[in-house]
C-alpha cells in the first residue's frame, strides 16, 4: 500500500484542501498521514530521509512571494539528498504558478477538478505525455470510475472555427470525449456530394467534405488532456462512415440506430426494412473491428412521445441486437427529462426499469457502460435558466452511477455551442458531478419509484412477448429485421409523432399523467394498460 504524507508549509494553517485530498487518496487505497501545519523545509526533508514516503503532498495558500524561497529551498534539498519521494503541491492559482516555475514539484494542482486528482492518483498524468493517457474507452473508464467521463458535442459552421475550437477545448482539459457534429449535408451526403444543397453548408454542424477534414480535427485535439474523439455517424452509407471514422479519428465508439435514419424519421430515404438490416450489419462490423457501440434507439422513440413501456422495450431490443452481433463494449444511453413534462420521480423509475432489463444481458463477453444526458427539449432558451436545468439534471442523473456524462450545453436549445460555451457547460457539469459524488440519497428506494419501475417491467415483458410472437416466439426473434419491421408496421412499436409516416402507424396516443408517459384511449384520454393496447393493435390487423 502506497503511503502519502501531507503538510502545510511555513505559516500556512489552511488544511481543508489537504484533508479533502487525503479523503480521496484513502478511498483509492492509499495510506495517508497528516504531518501537521506550518512545517519547515528541513522538517520535511528530515522526515523523508527517515521514513521514505511514496508521495509528499504539500500546500501553501498565502502570498506567492513568501512561497518562492521555500520552493527554492525544497528544490535544492531534493537534489542534495537525492530524495526519491514524489512531491506534489496544491494551492491558490498564484502560488501554484510559483510552484510550477520552481521545479521543486513533480505535479502541481490548483484549479483542477476532483476527477483530475483521482485520475492522477490512479496513475494518469493528466495534461502530460500522450502515451500516458488512455486512448480507448474501456481504459479511460477503468482509470477514472466512479468519476464519469465527460462528453460534449462540438461542430461549428466552418472548419476553421471548428479546428480552433477543438484545440481550445482539448487544452482546457474539461472533457474526456469530444463528439464531432457534422452538418446535415455531411451526415446524409458525404459519400454522395452531388446531392448536397450547398446553401445549407454548415447547418447543424461542421461541413465535413473530405476524410482529411476528420484527420485535421483529430490532430487539433492532440494536446491538453488528449480527449477521446468520436463522431456522429452518417444517415446514409453508415458502413463507409464506420470505416472512415475508425481510420481517421480512432473513433471512441460508434453510434448506430436500429430503425432510424430512414423513411421512419426522414433523415434519409432508406426504406425501413432495408435500414434495419443495414444498421445491424454496421453494428456487426464495429464488433468485428473492436469498436465499442452505442445503439441510438430508445431515446429516439421517447423524443417522439412514445409511452414509457415502448421506450424501455426498444432499449432492451437494441441491447439484445448489439450482444447478438458480437459487441463486447456497449454504451447504453439514458436520456433524462424526455419527453418534456415527465417528472424526475417517474423518469428515474423508467431508467431503473431499463437498467434492470438491459443489464440482465451483461456477462464476461458483453460489458455495458451507462451514459446519462439531459434531454435537449427540456432546456430553456433563457441561458441562465438552462444552466440551472442542465446542472440539476446531471446532479439527479448521477443517482444511476454513470460511466459517462453526455453534457448537453446550456446554449444547445438555441444554437450549436461555441468552444467557450462547451468549456463553460462542462465546468458546470463537473461541479454537479463532484457534489453528487460526495454522497446522494438512494432515490431508488422511494415507494412510488419502485412501484412504477415494476409496472413498466411487467408491461414491457408483455410487449416483448408479443413482438417475439411475430417471429418464431424465441428471443432471437428480437434481432430479426423482419420482425422489428412488422412490429413497427402494425403498431406494436409506435409513437404519436410517427403519424403520417408510410412505414408506421402513429396511432398510439400518449399523455403525461402523474409524471409518467402513458398510452391512453384516444377518445376518453384515460390510461390503458399494455395488454389492452396490444389487443387493439392485433384486432385491427385481423
Average pLDDT, the chain: 95
Rounded CA-CA distance 478/320 in Å is 7
Split at pLDDT 50, 70, 90, the class of 122 is confident
Q: Can you name the residues that pair with 6 across neighbouring β-strands?
A: 34, 57
User: Is 60 exceeded by the pLDDT of residue 125?
Assistant: no
Distance between CA 159 and CA 180 in Å, rounded? 11
What SS3 class is residue 350?
helix
Banded pLDDT at 120 (limits 50, 70, 90)? confident
**What pLDDT shows up at residue 413?**
84
- Tell me the three cell numbers of residue 197: 444543397
SS3 338: coil
What pLDDT, on the 0 to 100 scale, is given for residue 119?
Answer: 80
> Is the pLDDT assigned to residue 129 strictly greater than 60?
no
Average pLDDT rounded to a whole number, residues 268-281: 97
The residue that leads in pLDDT, 490 or 437, is 490
Sequence-distant (≥ 6) Cβ neighbours of residue 181 within 8 angstroms? 153, 154, 155, 204, 205, 206, 231, 232, 416
Are the C-beta atoms of 296 and 257 separated by less than 8 Å?
A: yes
**Where residue 154 falls among pLDDT bands split at 50, 70, 90?**
very high
Point out which residues pair with 59 in neighbouring strands.
8, 90
Residue with cell 444543397: 197
R_g (Cα) of the chain, nearest Å? 26
pLDDT per residue over 364-387, tens digit each?
999 999 999 999 889 999 999 999
Q: Which residue has the higher pLDDT, 414 or 386?
A: 386
Identify the three-state secondary structure at position 423. helix
Q: Which residues contact 85 (CB under 8 A, 6 or more apart)?
A: 48, 52, 53, 54, 55, 56
Tens of pLDDT, residue by residue over 287-298, are: 999 999 999 999
Q: Report how far residue 161's alpha carbon sits from residue 405's, in angstroms, rounded to the nearest whole number.
A: 25
pLDDT in tens, 179-223: 999 999 999 999 999 999 999 999 999 999 999 999 999 999 999
- In terms of CATH, what superfamily is 136-444? Methylmalonyl-CoA mutase (3.20.20.240)
Q: Does position 124 have pLDDT exceeding 60, yes or no?
A: no
CB contact set of 81 (below 8 Å; sequence gap of 6+): 45, 48, 49
Q: What is the pLDDT of residue 127?
A: 41
Does the domain made of 3-111 have the CATH classification 3.40.50.1370? no
> In the Cβ-directed half-sphere of 21, how many Cα atoms lie within 13 Å?
30
- Give residue 131's pLDDT: 46
Across 77-99, average pLDDT? 94
Q: Give the per-residue pLDDT at 132.
A: 56
Q: Are 303 and 267 in contact (CB under 8 A)?
A: no
pTM of the model: 0.87
Which pLDDT does position 130 carry in this prediction? 45
Quick one: pLDDT at residue 113?
78
Mean pLDDT of 128-140: 74
d(CA 105, CA 153): 35
Domain boundaries, the chain: 3-111, 136-444, 450-541
- List, for residues 24-68, the tens digit of each pLDDT value: 899 888 999 999 999 999 999 999 999 999 999 999 999 889 899
pLDDT at residue number 126: 42
Mean pLDDT for 149-162 is 97
Amino acid at each position: 500500500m502506497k503511503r502519502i504524507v501531507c503538510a502545510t508549509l511555513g505559516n500556512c494553517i489552511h488544511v481543508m484542501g489537504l484533508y479533502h485530498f487525503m479523503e480521496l487518496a484513502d478511498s483509492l487505497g492509499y495510506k495517508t498521514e497528516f504531518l501537521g501545519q506550518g512545517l519547515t523545509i528541513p522538517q520535511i526533508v528530515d522526515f523523508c530521509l527517515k521514513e521514505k514516503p511514496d508521495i509528499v503532498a504539500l500546500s501553501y495558500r498565502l502570498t506567492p512571494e513568501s512561497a518562492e524561497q521555500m520552493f527554492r529551498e525544497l528544490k535544492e534539498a531534493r537534489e542534495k539528498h537525492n530524495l526519491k519521494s514524489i512531491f506534489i503541491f496544491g494551492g491558490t492559482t498564484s502560488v501554484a504558478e510559483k510552484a510550477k516555475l520552481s521545479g521543486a514539484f513533480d505535479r502541481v494542482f490548483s484549479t483542477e477538478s476532483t476527477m483530475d486528482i483521482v485520475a492522477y492518483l490512479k496513475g494518469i498524468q493528466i495534461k502530460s505525455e500522450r502515451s500516458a493517457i488512455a486512448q480507448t474507452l474501456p481504459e479511460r473508464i477503468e482509470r477514472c470510475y466512479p468519476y464519469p467521463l465527460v462528453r460534449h458535442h462540438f461542430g461549428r459552421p466552418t472548419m476553421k472555427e471548428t479546428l480552433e475550437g477543438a484545440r481550445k477545448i482539448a487544452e482546457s482539459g474539461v472533457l474526456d470525449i469530444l463528439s464531432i457534429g457534422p452538418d446535415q449535408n455531411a451526415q446524409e451526403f458525404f459519400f454522395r456530394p452531388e446531392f448536397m444543397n450547398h446553401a445549407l453548408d454548415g447547418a447543424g454542424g461542421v461541413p465535413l467534405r473530405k476524410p482529411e477534414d476528420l484527420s485535421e480535427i483529430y490532430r487539433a485535439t492532440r494536446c491538453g488532456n488528449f480527449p477521446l474523439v468520436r463522431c456522429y455517424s452518417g444517415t446514409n452509407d453508415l458502413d463507409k462512415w464506420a470505416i472512415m471514422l475508425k481510420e481517421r479519428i480512432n473513433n471512441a465508439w460508434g453510434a448506430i440506430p436500429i430503425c432510424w435514419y430512414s423513411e421512419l424519421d426522414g433523415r434519409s430515404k432508406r426504406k425501413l426494412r432495408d435500414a434495419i438490416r443495414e444498421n445491424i450489419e454496421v453494428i456487426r462490423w464495429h464488433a468485428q473491428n473492436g469498436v465499442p457501440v452505442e445503439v441510438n434507439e430508445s431515446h429516439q422513440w421517447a423524443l417522439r412521445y412514445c409511452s414509457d413501456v415502448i421506450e424501455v422495450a426498444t432499449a432492451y431490443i437494441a441491447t439484445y441486437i448489439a450482444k447478438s452481433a458480437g459487441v463486447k463494449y456497449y454504451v447504453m444511453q439514458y436520456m433524462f427529462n424526455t419527453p418534456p413534462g415527465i417528472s424526475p420521480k417517474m423518469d428515474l423509475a423508467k431508467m431503473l426499469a431499463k437498467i434492470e432489463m438491459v443489464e440482465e444481458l451483461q456477462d464476461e463477453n458483453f460489458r455495458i457502460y451507462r451514459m446519462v444526458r439531459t434531454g435537449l427539449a427540456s432546456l430553456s432558451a433563457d441561458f441562465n435558466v438552462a444552466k440551472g436545468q442542465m446542472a440539476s439534471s446531471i446532479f439527479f442523473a448521477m443517482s444511476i452511477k454513470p460511466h459517462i456524462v453526455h453534457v448537453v450545453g446550456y446554449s444547445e436549445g438555441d444554437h450549436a455551442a461555441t468552444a467557450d460555451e462547451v468549456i463553460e457547460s462542462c465546468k458546470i457539469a463537473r461541479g454537479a458531478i463532484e457534489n453528487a459524488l460526495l454522497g446522494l440519497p438512494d432515490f431508488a428506494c422511494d415507494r412510488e419509484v419502485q412501484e412504477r419501475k415494476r409496472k413498466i417491467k411487467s408491461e414491457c415483458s408483455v410487449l416483448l412477448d408479443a413482438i417475439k410472437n411475430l417471429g418464431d416466439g424465441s428471443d432471437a426473434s428480437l434481432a430479426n429485421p423482419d420482425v422489428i419491421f412488422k412490429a413497427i408496421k402494425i403498431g406494436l412499436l409506435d409513437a404519436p409523432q410517427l403519424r403520417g409516416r408510410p412505414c408506421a402507424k402513429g396511432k398510439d396516443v400518449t399523455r403525461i399523467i402523474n409524471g409518467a408517459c402513458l398510452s391512453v384511449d384516444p377518445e376518453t384520454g384515460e390510461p390503458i394498460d399494455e395488454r389492452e393496447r396490444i389487443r387493439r393493435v392485433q384486432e385491427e390487423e385481423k
